[in-house]
Amino acid sequence: MEFSYEVKDSYAEVKADGRLNMVSAPKLREFVTDVIAGGSNRIVVNLEDTAFMDSSGLGALIGCLKAARQAGGDLRIAAVQPQVKMVLQLTSMDKVLTSYGSAEEAFSND
């Protein structure tokens, strides 16, 4: 899995390409922690190219969400693909990790 980020006007967009599994989950957490430490506390994780997520990946997203909130911001997810959506729904975490159609929409009403 590859990570990248881009600081936009009102948020930082993190892209995660590949499989978000037990191997990559700790790396996502580390990556987002670094982005937050760099001064961005409003994070959008763009999951457009995340074809797969397991419970480890979900745990990492929850960890990142908590880190963003502890820094006074928030974390939202965007462009969720069918398998990721299924995992979010089956674990009822779709109510906690708010999903948006695109990264641009995630903080557009704030």
Partner 1 sequence: MTDVLASRSFRGPAADEAIESVHNDLDSLWLDVPFVGDMDQMTFTTAVIESASNIVQHAEPVGQDPVELGVDIEVQPALLQARVSAYNAQPPFGPMIPGSPDEESESGRGLALIEALVTTVTFQRQDATNTWVLTRTSQHG
Contacts with partner 1 by CB under 8 A lie at 19, 21-23, 52, 54-56, 58-60, 62-63, 66, 82-83, 86-87, 90-93, 95-96
What minimum distance in Å lies between the beta carbon of 46 and partner 1?
21
CB nearer partner 1, residue 71 or residue 93: 93
Cα–Cα dist 41/16, whole Å? 18
Whose CA is closest to 102, among 54, 48, 62? 48
Helix (H) or strand (E) holding 87: helix 82-90
CA nearest to 107, candidates 73, 82, 84: 73
Neighbours of 86 (CB within 10 A): 13
Closest CB to partner 1 among residues 81, 105: 81
User: Smallest gap, in angstroms, from Cβ of residue 98 to partner 1?
Assistant: 13
Angle between helices 25-37 and 55-70 (to 10 degrees): 10
Q: Please identify, using beta-carbon distances, which residue of 7 and 96 lies nearer to partner 1.
A: 96
Is the CB of 9 or the CB of 95 nearer to partner 1? 95
User: In whole angstroms, how close is the CB of 95 to partner 1 at the nearest point?
Assistant: 8
